Amino acid sequence: MSAVFTHFLTTGVAEKNFRRDKLEQLYTAASKYVQDSLEDASLYRTSGQIAASELKDFEKRREDHDRLFDTCHMLANLYFPELSAELATFAEHWKEFVFGTTAVSEEQLQQSGAKFIALIVFTAYKMNRPLHLKLKDWFPRRLGWFGKRR
């Protein structure tokens, strides 16, 4: 019986550490993606025709932007599907802002990016909550035996 309990605890800790690592990777990629997107958005929108001398740098920035989006998209879809809708919203706002298809302001773009990052941080907070606080959420009414000192 103790071997089963030990196995349960070990796999639980390993799963939590794995998800935490994936969330850290998502946070790193997402913060860089959002920061680069906000910096590049106004450049893409206002540059119009790109000079031949700047074309190589523009293409490299675009490749980095796409690679970061792909990383965020993959991690969100595989491990944190509750975050993928907000990532899609930010990507859509970025596309609408850059290409001017709708009236998305720079402030709305910034708010969308900040909301995505905040959701990642909140997910980390929920993952790291102590067990007694998780139990408190699972059982909304107070249990007579829970939390009493003997």
Average pLDDT over residues 2-8: 72
> Mean pLDDT score of the chain, rounded to an integer?
82
Average pLDDT over residues 124-131: 80
Domain ranges of the chain: 2-138
- The pTM for the full model equals 0.75
- At residue 81, the pLDDT reads 93
Give the model confidence (pLDDT) of 63-85 as tens digits. Answer: 888 999 999 999 999 999 999 99
Calculate what percentage of the chain has a pLDDT beyond 70: 79
Give the residue, 135 or 43, on which the prediction is more confident. 43
Cβ contacts of 80-86, under 8 Å, gap ≥ 24: 80/22, 80/23, 80/26, 80/120, 80/123, 82/119, 82/123, 83/26, 83/116, 83/119, 83/120, 83/123, 86/112, 86/115, 86/116, 86/119
Give the model confidence (pLDDT) of 32-55 as tens digits. Answer: 999 988 888 777 766 566 677 777
